[in-house]
Structure 1
Amino acid sequence: MKLLRVGPAGEEVPAVLDESGGLLDLSGIVSDIDGAFLAAGGVDQVRAAVEAGGLPELPAGLRIGAPVARPGKIVCVGLNYSDHAEETGAEKPTEPVLFMKAPNTVIGPDDQVLVPRGSLKTDWEVELAVVIGSTARYLTGHADALARVAGYAISNDVSEREFQLERGGQWDKGKSCETFNPLGPWLVTADEVADPQSLGMRLWVNGTLRQDGNSKNMIFAVAEIVRYVSQFMVLEPGDVINTGTPAGVALGLPDPKPYLRAGDVVEVEIDGLGRQRQEVGQA
């Protein structure tokens, strides 16, 4: 299933995309698509309601919000593609490189991304996002790890490289600026993604293809990432893991690097997970 949330920011209603591409209103059976929904088996509840029929239709053209409301945390994996590590001059990691991103960076897939005040190096990153569906701690195997995944979505892990790399401290300050995590359009349930390690992923800036990769080239696969992260923190329903980006970010391009500026347009897609489009503004 493809779950989503539609409506004005802060007033989104839960919905499901039907086979014809129409939107069915879920607000009569669930309050939202969030951690509580996932923990309570909401996906199965929605599936049963869709099969039973009779869900009201929603009008076309509604704003699409992030498909998961209020994630408890966003865990990110850095340098998880060999070509990206090479383009940034970093060594290929021997263990997943983890950092956190503030949950309130999450916006809808087509909402405006804001270049932060004082920023000269705002960058893009297409990423496969993993949404956790059940509590995970000290997992021992990959099958168990994948069983904790509710589904997948597109994430644009927007990054400010000067803040991240040149201002001291951890990466978080270059990753947690407002609007820095467009997510969606859909939460595609895990049963509809036959192999999360075979997804083409692309990103354009102003119509120029900048990233053209595939999740098969991850250094650490989704199952290993979930297992690994669970050794260091408890993953809870509704948490999001951004699993890394392939080559083609502005940081890795020749000078003058084409960092984002107000007026730019970023488009992002991953096979089977939909497409995003963000117009860039100034904070």
Structure 2
Amino acid sequence: MKLVSFIWRGETGTGYLKGDSIVMTQGLGGRETGEEVKIDQVKLTAPLIPSAIFCTLVNSPRMLGVEDKREAREMLGSPKFFLKLPQLVIGPGDVILAPQSGVRPEVEIGVIVSKPLKMASREEARNAILGYTVFNDVTAPGEMKEDMYYAYRRDPMDGKVKKMAVRGSHFRNKNRDTFAPMGPWIVTADELGDITGLTMRSIYGDVVVQEGKSDELIYGVEDLLVEVSKVLTVPRLSLISTGTIGYRGAEEASEYKFQALEANLVVEVEKIGKLENPVKVDRHHQS
């Protein structure tokens, strides 16, 4: 089942897809109201505003600069996360507002959980999955420098305390208005099954910049849910993103940059959907 949220005749609504129609429901996944509407008569919105957004960092070998998954797992040690604010969520067709330094797409699978998770087992994590959506972890790599700073730290190479550059947090490059597109719907877990072997792709200005398979992910969905639930209680209807795949022709994938480009940005995941958003550059304000 594909769960959707939409605007129709100036009102918001929810439902599920049946052919080219939407069967309306009382809330996402709720009881049917008895009404239907053609999908081309509505504006699809983000399927929900998550309670929280947990993004997975560098979860594919190419994002670590290697090819072998076993080596990448040893380098990573455990899943790494950062947060995005739910207020950043936009839906299909909504505008991504880019800083003048530009943006890059990060095609990811968003996992929606149907119940709170705390110290979850793998079975509990698996049973808590409501479904999957396409998530674009939009990033502004050029803004990362604003969160860098210098501090005296002990150099792990020689054990001496010295003045060093510290990369800082993922704030200005990740948490900007419109930087969490998701949709166009949620494919329920019972329909999709697992997410292995799915083609993932991003296209920016008609150029394919990412293309690979979900098999590239170092840690799977259950691994991620279990790990986050060790740290805190994962709220009901949270989104946990899986992390992205590498970039085509990138010498150092984590710093892959684009110039500020006003064009359509498309991310798609096989069997889940395609999410398209136009990019506009904010030329009136400095980053």
2: CA distance, partners of 1:275 / 1:202: 9
Which residue of the partner structure matches residue 119 of structure 2?
Answer: 138
Match status 1:75 vs 2:54: yes
Q: Contact 1:124–1:249 (CA<8 Å) still a contact in 2? A: no
1: CA distance, partners of 2:218 / 2:107: 16
2: CA distance, partners of 1:106 / 1:224: 25
TM-score (norm 2): 0.81
2: CA distance, partners of 1:252 / 1:242: 24
Which residue of the partner structure matches residue 98 of structure 1?
Answer: 81
Which residue of the partner structure matches residue 40 of structure 1?
Answer: none
Which residue of the partner structure matches residue 162 of structure 1?
Answer: 142
- 1:13-38 CA distances to partner (integer Å, 9 max, x unpaired)? 112111x2212222xxx2x43xxxxx
1: CA distance, partners of 2:145 / 2:20: 42
Which residue of the partner structure matches residue 109 of structure 2?
Answer: 128
Structure (1 or 2) with the larger CA radius of gyration: 2
Q: Residue 111 of structure 2 aligns to a residue in which SS?
A: strand
Q: Contact 2:56–2:241 (CA<8 Å) still a contact in 1? A: yes
Name the amino acid aligned to 2:17. Answer: L
Q: More strand per residue: 1 or 2? A: 2
Match status 1:206 vs 2:205: yes
CA 214–257 in structure 1, closer or farther in 2 if over 3 Å, else same: closer
Q: Contact 2:105–2:267 (CA<8 Å) still a contact in 1? A: no
- 1:85-109 CA distances to partner (integer Å, 9 max, x unpaired)? 217xxx7411111100111110002
Which residue of the partner structure matches residue 36 of structure 1?
Answer: none
TM-score (norm 1): 0.82
Deviation at 1:192, TM superposition (A): 1.0
Moved more, 237-246 or 193-202: 193-202
Q: Residue 84 of structure 1 aligns to a residue in which SS?
A: helix
Map 1:108-257 → 2, pairs under 5 A: 108-116=91-99, 119-139=100-120, 141-164=121-144, 166-168=146-148, 169-248=168-247
CA 249–232 in structure 1, closer or farther in 2 if over 3 Å, else same: farther
Q: Residue 126 of structure 2 aligns to a residue in which SS?
A: helix
Name the amino acid aligned to 2:240. Answer: I
Deviation at 1:182, TM superposition (A): 0.7
Q: Contact 2:211–2:248 (CA<8 Å) still a contact in 1? A: no
Deviation at 1:158, TM superposition (A): 0.3
Name the amino acid aligned to 1:93. Answer: L
1: CA distance, partners of 2:262 / 2:219: 35
Deviation at 1:58, TM superposition (A): 4.3
* Dislocated runs of 4+, deviation >6 Å: none
CA 101–151 in structure 1, closer or farther in 2 if over 3 Å, else same: same
Identity over aligned residues, as a percent?
26
Deviation at 1:274, TM superposition (A): 1.2
User: What count of residue pairs does the alignment treat as equivalent?
Assistant: 255
- 1:24-54 CA distances to partner (integer Å, 9 max, x unpaired)? 222xxx2x43xxxxxxxxx3x44xx49xxx4
Please list every run of 5 or more consecutive structure 1 residues that lacks an aligned counterpart in the other structure.
34-42
Q: Contact 2:65–2:252 (CA<8 Å) still a contact in 1? A: no
CA 182–250 in structure 1, closer or farther in 2 if over 3 Å, else same: farther
Q: Residue 127 of structure 1 aligns to a residue in which SS?
A: strand
CA 14–262 in structure 1, closer or farther in 2 if over 3 Å, else same: same
Q: Contact 1:125–1:249 (CA<8 Å) still a contact in 2? A: no
Deviation at 1:209, TM superposition (A): 1.2
Which residue of the partner structure matches residue 280 of structure 1?
Answer: 279
Deviation at 1:261, TM superposition (A): 2.5
CA 160–11 in structure 1, closer or farther in 2 if over 3 Å, else same: farther
